[in-house]
Amino acid sequence: MHSKELNDRSPLRLLEQSIHGGLGRGNVGVVVAQAGMGKTAFLVGVALDDLMRDRKVLHVALDEPVDKIRDYYDEIFMDLARTSGLEDIGNERLRVERNRNIHTYFGNTFSIAKLREAIAFLRTHMHFDPQTLIIEGYHFAGATGADLEALRRIAQEIDGELWMSAVADRHSPMDERTVPEPVAHLAAAFDVILSMQPGGGVVHLHLLKDHDNPEVSDSHVALDPTTLLLITE
């Protein structure tokens, strides 16, 4: 299997049909699930989908060190390569490394200003212009619509997509239609909201918000629980 065939099995392919072309540049998407459901793996999968198309990705983690995030990429990439029969693994891995940059912020050191400074540094001194921004570990419980709007402006400045993850409040309902906290109170600030739920030996990816469309598609995507790729017949 070549990288294009692997990209074709990304859940983003079906989501692009359901959400009328995908997340879109300058927009903000979030995937929400209970702890341990594979949100990081999903975000890494989003990143790999771009990286293997030679698109630059900046992955920002607020609670994990760089080495651990890099290990996530290595593990998920190798799982994909093994289960999909990816050819020329060495060159594809180099492509991923070349197009990816990882930044981490521990404790309460993250701020919009610091993120903007980091992106400016990458552009000016490393000639690295991120086209996709991944942020995980963001603390939504205390966030406001203004905070999300500031992040949206960064996505607009880089003319790219911003994907985030959120741990669902264990007391908040999780179903195919309900947006759980800590995202529900910020739902208006997101363009796309996805949820991940287990069932029947697979991971179900549900679309909860589709930009400003009042009628959200009720289709869902079944993913392999190991690779989070689309399950094929």
**DSSP states along 102-134:** EEE--TT---HHHHHHHHHHHHHHH----SEEE
Longest Cα–Cα distance of the chain, Å, equals 49
* Backbone dihedral region for residue 189 (phi beyond 0: left; psi -120 to 50: alpha; all else: beta): alpha
**What pLDDT sits at residue 1?**
42
| CA gap 174, 41 in Å, rounded | 20
Q: Tens-of-pLDDT digits for all 233 residues of the chain? A: 435 545 555 656 656 666 666 789 999 999 999 888 888 888 998 898 899 889 999 999 998 999 999 998 998 888 877 777 777 888 889 999 999 999 999 888 999 999 999 999 999 999 999 999 999 999 998 899 999 999 999 999 999 999 999 999 887 777 667 899 999 999 999 999 999 887 777 888 888 998 888 777 665 677 767 666 655 44
Nearest CA among 109, 113, 179, 117 for reference residue 151:
113
**What pLDDT sits at residue 231?**
58
* The 100-104 sheet, strands edge to edge: 100-104, 57-61, 132-136, 161-167, 28-33, 192-199, 202-210, 220-223
User: How would you class 130 by CB atoms within 10 Å of its CB: exposed for 0-12, middle for 13-18, buried for 19 or more?
Assistant: buried
Q: Are 31 and 223 in contact (CB under 8 A)?
A: no
The pTM score is 0.88
Q: Which long-range contacts (CB under 8 A, 24 or more apart) does 140-146 make?
A: 140/166, 140/182, 140/183, 140/186, 141/181, 141/182, 143/182, 143/186, 144/186, 145/186, 145/188, 145/189
Cα torsion 46, 217, 5, 84: sign: positive
Q: How far apart are the first and last CA of the chain?
A: 16
**What pLDDT sits at residue 183?**
95
Nearest CA among 165, 140, 176, 193 for reference residue 36:
165
Q: Are 57 and 101 in contact (CB under 8 A)?
A: yes
| CA gap 55, 101 in Å, rounded | 11
